[in-house]
Structure 1
Amino acid sequence: MTNIERRDLGLPYISDNEVFEEQKKARVLTQKLNTVDRSDFDVIGKIVKELLGKSDGAFINPPFYCDYGTHIEVGKNFFANYNCTILDVAKVTIGDNCQLAPNVAIYTAGHPTHPDTRNSGYEYGISVTIGDNVWIGGNSIICPGVRIGSNTVIGAGSVVTKDIPDWVIAAGNPCRVIREITEEDRRLYFRDKEFDDEAWQDVMDREERD
């Protein structure tokens, strides 16, 4: 098998010239994205569309870094804030209406633990899956093989090493479930602070339109 075939099967592989050749398009596009006029939102959106391919309303605040782009699949209304890094050696699947705060890193790439094996040059990629309506707080790291459930919030600074279920707030290093998200959270925007009546009516109107 070629190293590209090995990589795509989730087997250990070597980053050889063929692998680097596949990465060239993403490097060109991320360079373009990261040097574009930051106020030209239309151009940014077009570059993001070309980089990620299948996307609907995706927007990324540069700078942004990835290995391939083609291994990243995002749903509707995806948003990533400044300085996001996605090492998409394996597939990264992200659902609808997901938000990544600044400095979020998603890693599918890894290396063997034992130094002798690691020094052989072999590495691997294990896929990451993130559900719908997920918000990942700033400076969080999502490690290879993790699945994050829908409607979940990952607190800032978390290191997510294991799966996180639906409808929870989770945080920490390693990331752990803190509590479930309930109906009591619906009208709150920060801790115990409630939406004012005007904003809350707008929220309700937007839900009806959707």
Structure 2
Amino acid sequence: MKTEREKMLAGELYNAQDPELVAGRERARALALRLGELAYDHPRRRGLLEALFGAGGDTVFVTPPFFCDYGTQIELGENVYFNFNCVLLDVCTIRIGAHTLVGPAVQIYTPLHPFDAALRRRQEYGKPVTIGSDVWIGGGAIILPGVRIGDRTVIGAGSVVTRDLPADVFAAGNPCRVVRPLA
């Protein structure tokens, strides 16, 4: 039988109050809090980032405060930058390609909740998010579960990304849609 964590990572219904999952969230919050307490050039900062993220913590740049559910499902390419106040809810994998810039107050969500109220009281599920390389996500944008964003795409500030976006476009709005190609 699968553990609640295994169900979560597979995108199946799971119980978020499982003790292992609660402990994982507490670990991530403690690491993020410690990160916010250290000066940007403090020698222990890099170790905290490596401990927090599933992959890529050795070259990521984070301006606190930063919030995530687990951190371990966040996989980063080299030189990813998170500005102030970003929120990444990583119940499923969040993959972000190299040299991507994430503006202030950007929110990336992978959790989903059943429409049935009785089921929603007990369980949730998720879908992974994939963001390509050299992407720029403007401040206050929200990326919803299951979305894929192509390489070199620019997302306008305040956009709500509800569906996949191709590479090499400028997209904006609520819902976010392609405004024009970048070329």
Alignment TM-score, normalising by the size of structure 2: 0.92
3-state SS of paired residue (1:14): coil
- 1:86 match: 88
Query: Please, what is the CA RMSD of the aligned residues?
Result: 1.4
**Which structure carries more helix by proportion?**
1
3-state SS of paired residue (2:170): strand
Is the CA contact (8 Å cut-off) linking 2:142 and 2:159 kept in structure 1? yes
- 2:110 match: 108
Is the CA contact (8 Å cut-off) linking 2:162 and 2:176 kept in structure 1? yes
| CA displacement 1:112-140 (0-9 Å, x = unmatched) | 12323322x21012100000100000000
Change (3 A) 1:167 1:41: farther
3-state SS of paired residue (2:124): strand
Deviation at 1:107, TM superposition (A): 0.3
Deviation at 1:64, TM superposition (A): 0.3
Candidates 76, 79, 82, aligned match of 2:78: 76
Is the CA contact (8 Å cut-off) linking 1:44 and 1:59 kept in structure 2? no
Deviation at 1:41, TM superposition (A): 5.2
Stretches of structure 2 that go unaligned for 5 or more consecutive residues are: none
* Farther-moved stretch of structure 1 (106-115 vs 94-103): 106-115
Pairwise mapping of residues 151-166 of structure 1 onto structure 2 (< 5 A)?
A: 151-166=152-167
| CA displacement 1:63-83 (0-9 Å, x = unmatched) | 000111110000011100000
2:76 pairs with 1:61: no
Displacement over 6 Å in runs of 4+: none
Change (3 A) 1:76 1:135: same
* Equivalent pairs, count: 180
* Farther-moved stretch of structure 1 (56-65 vs 137-146): 56-65
Pairwise mapping of residues 37-186 of structure 1 onto structure 2 (< 5 A)?
A: 37=39, 39-40=40-41, 42-55=43-56, 56-119=58-121, 121-182=122-183
Stretches of structure 1 that go unaligned for 5 or more consecutive residues are: 183-210
C-alpha distance in structure 2 between counterparts of 1:23 and 1:156, whole Å: 28
2:3 pairs with 1:2: yes
